[in-house]
Amino acid sequence: MSILMVNESIDFVSLKSLLDLTDGNLASHTRSLEELAYISSHKRFIGRKPSTTYSITDKGREAFICHINALEALLKNNE
């Protein structure tokens, strides 16, 4: 999610490389995030190769900000 917070969109191959995940693992995570409507995907073909790009939704952006705020609050309470 943090990658999508700072990029308008990112393709599957680049995301997989940045996160050092397998195809199946990344597909599973992105599917879950799509089901929650936190990210959206756009599938197309470039030449004969399929290409999927992901972008964060408004709902996903709000959820991520809430998550970061909760982590910051937790850290402040443990100081």
Label residue 79 by pLDDT band (50, 70, 90). Answer: confident
Which DSSP helix (H) or strand (E) runs through 3? helix 2-6
In the chain, how many domains are there? 1
Supply the pLDDT for residue 24: 96
For the segment 1-5, the average pLDDT, to the nearest whole number, is 95
The enclosing domain of 49 has a CATH number of 1.10.10.10
Nearest Cα residue to 42 out of 77, 9, 16 = 9
List the domain range (segments joined by +) for residue 46: 2-77
Using a 10 angstrom Cβ sphere, with 0-12 exposed, 13-18 middle and 19 or more buried, the burial of residue 49 is exposed
pLDDT in tens, 14-55: 999 999 999 999 999 999 999 999 999 999 999 999 999 999
